[in-house]
């Protein structure tokens, strides 16, 4: 067995939630780099494949600059059936997403990619099922007025007010927030990063 890698951790993400989640398990990246990646899904691409492709693209946008370090990236997508729900940029986006999710089960996929010193690349794909209660017009209007939906995949933030509308979660809660912590920690440990 060779020497244990001793590189720094570089987080390839523009998401403040991912940084907060890592800090929750006492991991502080040495640097946070914002990858410039087109996040548009490809035509007929399944949601899970979109998450994996984008997580790899984010890692590859940053990793070549830090060959002696660990570069961690992730991408989270919300899907209702085969339909991928992007980030809500307008109130109409959010209303459309929430109308679709109301009273239904949907899935949240997060792909986590780790580029280790020496060029080894590992990935994990985590899936969580989320059941949302039926939202009436009053609930919908109140949530839209909160503005919490802005920039959120699927038009909601489970760690905020929307939690009152989530009936059931099957799988990783932190995955729905934006980074599956158990799987991320295991990926780092398994690659030789000291937690």
Active-site residue numbers? 75
Contact 193, 70 (CB under 8 A): yes
SS3 assignment for the chain = CCCCCCCCEEEECCCHHHHHHHHHCCCCCCEEECCCCCCCCCCCCCHHHHHHHHHHHHHHHHHHHCCCCEEEEEEEEEEECCEEECECCCHHHHHHHHHHHCCCEEEEEEEEEEECCCCCEEEEEEEEEEEECCCCHHHHHHHHHHCCCCCCECCCCCCCHHHHHEEEEECCHHHHHCCCHHHHHHHHHHCCCCC
Radius of gyration of the chain (CA): 17
Distance (Å, whole) CA 37 – CA 57:
7
Distance (Å, whole) CA 9 – CA 80:
34
């Amino acid at each position: 067995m060779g020497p244990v890698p001793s590189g720094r951790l570089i987080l390839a993400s523009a998401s403040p939630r991912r940084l907060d989640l890592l800090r929750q398990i006492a991991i502080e990246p040495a640097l946070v780099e914002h990858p410039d990646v087109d996040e548009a899904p490809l035509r007929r691409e399944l949601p899970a494949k979109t998450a994996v492709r984008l997580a790899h693209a984010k890692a590859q946008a940053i990793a070549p600059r830090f060959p002696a370090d660990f570069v961690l990236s992730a991408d989270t997508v919300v899907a209702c059936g085969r339909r991928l729900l992007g980030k809500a940029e307008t109130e109409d986006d959010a209303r459309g997403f929430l109308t679709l999710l109301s009273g239904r089960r949907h899935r949240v996929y997060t792909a986590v990619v780790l580029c280790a010193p020496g060029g080894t690349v590992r990935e994990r794909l985590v899936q969580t099922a989320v059941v949302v209660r039926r939202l009436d017009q009053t609930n919908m209007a109140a949530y839209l007025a909160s503005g919490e939906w802005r920039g959120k995949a699927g038009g909601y933030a489970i760690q905020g007010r929307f939690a009152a509308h989530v009936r059931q979660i099957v799988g990783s809660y932190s995955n729905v927030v934006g980074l599956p912590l158990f799987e991320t920690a295991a990926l780092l440990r398994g690659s030789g990063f000291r937690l």
